[in-house]
Amino acid sequence: MKEIIPAVRQSIHNFLKKHSLAPYKRSLYGDFCLRRGFRTPDLYGMIDAVYVLYTLGELAEWTSRESRERWAESIIACQSEYGWFEKSNKRGHSKEHATAYAIGALRLLEMEEDEQYVTRLKPIQDLLPILTDSSYLRHWLERLDFCWNPKSILKKNLGWHHIWRGSHVGGGVAATIGMLGEVIGKVWKWNIDIGIWFELYFDWLNKHINPDTGYWQRAFWNRIWKKPTIIDLGGAAHFYWIYEVRKQPFPYPEAAINSTLSLQRPSGLYKDKPFCLDLDGNFIVVRSYRQLDKDKQERWRDKVFAAVNKSGQTILKILSEQNLGNIYADLHGLPGAMAGLMECTKLDGTDWGETLSGWKHPLDKVMWL
C-alpha cells in the first residue's frame, strides 16, 4: 500500500486547495473555509486544515512562525465573551465540540516550545461550577445539558438520548479541561485540582457503562434496545479518547471490541465513506486490544488484525482513487478519515507504521478531533 501514498497526499492537497481562500503556497495563514463557495474563513475550516496538515506531517513545512501566529489569532478571534468558541461556526456542532476542537488546533499549531497560544484564551466561565462543585458535576453528567423541553430538542441537544451528539458535551468539556492543563491554574488563577476532578469524572462513567457492550447506553430507548448501534459507537469513542490520554483502564475492553466489530461493514468502513466514525471504530478496537492480557489478545488477535487492516486498506484506496470533492460535502469529514488511518499504526505487528511513515496522529498530542 505504500506505493499509493504519494497519490493520497496529492489528492488531499488538491482538496485543501479548493477550500483555501488565499494562494495555496508555503507560509499558509489559515484562510480556509468549511465548504467550497464560502467567501470568508470560518472556525471549522481553519481548524480542519490544521488537523489535515498536521496528520500529513507537513504543518511545519507549510507554515512559518509568523503564519502560525496569525492562524492561531484567527482561531482565537472566534471565542465569544463567555469563552466558548461560538463565532463563525458554520459546521453547527455544539459549543463544547467547537471549543475542544479549537483548543486542539491551537495545541497542534504550537510547533515550538514558546508558542503557547492557549495561554491567550479567555476563561470559559461555565467550566467553573463543573470543576468546583461535585454535585453540579454529577447533575451535569446525568443530563449532558438535555432538558425535556421543545427548545432543547429543536437544538438537537438530546444528551444521552443521542449519545453520539451528547458526547460532544460530555467528552468535549473533559478534553477542553485536559488540554488547557496549567492554563486553568496559572493563567486563569482558578484553584482547581484537575487530577481529582478527573477521578470523579471517570468514577461516574465507570458506574454508568453497560458491561455487556462496553458502551454507554442510557437513552430512554435503551430500556428496550440494548444491541450496539453506530450512535453508541460514536458516543463511546469520545469518552475513550479521554480515558486513553489520562491513562485510565477501559472498564470492559473485550465487550467494547465485540460491540465495535459487530458494527463494521464488510468494506471495512463503518458507514458509506471514511470519516470520523472510522477513527472511532479503529480507536476502540485497537486501544481496547492493547489493554488485554496476552491470553485474551491471542483470543482476539485474528479478528482485530483483520478488521484494522481492512479498514486501513479501504480508506487508503478511497483517498487515492476518488475525487475527495465527490465524497465530502465539506472539509470536516477528511481529518477523521486520516486519523482513522493513523490509528492503524497503533496496532503492533502491522506494517502501517512504515506505510504511513512521516504522518502524525493528532491524538498523540491532543484529546479531541
Give pLDDT tens digits for 142-155.
999 766 666 666 66
Q: Which domains does the chain have, with CATH numbers?
A: 2-114+128-364 (1.50.10)
Smallest CA-to-CA distance from 363 within 35, 156, 126, 104 is with: 104
DSSP 57: T
Contacts of residue 189, defined as CB under 8 A and 6 or more positions apart, other chains included, come to none
pLDDT of residue 153: 60
Q: Where are the alpha helices (DSSP H) in 156-293?
A: 163-180, 194-207, 230-245, 253-263, 276-290
Q: 167 vs 157, 232, 233, 234, CA distance in Å?
A: 11, 10, 11, 8
DSSP 248: P
Give pLDDT tens digits for 2-26.
889 999 999 999 999 999 999 999 9
CA distance 127 to 65: 31
Say if residues 61 and 55 touch (Cβ distance below 8 Å).
Answer: no
349: left (phi over 0), alpha (psi -120 to 50) or beta: left
Q: 248 vs 195, 196, 224, 282, CA distance in Å?
A: 12, 13, 30, 18
CA distance 234 to 162: 10
Q: Cell 454535585 belongs to which residue?
A: 135
Q: Cell 471549543 belongs to which residue?
A: 99
Mean pLDDT for the chain? 96
pLDDT of residue 249: 98
Q: 229 vs 34, 223, 267, CA distance in Å?
A: 28, 14, 17
Give pLDDT tens digits for 196-241.
999 999 999 999 999 999 999 999 999 999 899 999 999 999 999 9
CA distance 201 to 342: 28
Q: With the C-alpha atoms ordered 60, 61, 66, 69, is the resulting torsion angle positive or negative?
A: negative
> pTM (2 decimals)?
0.97
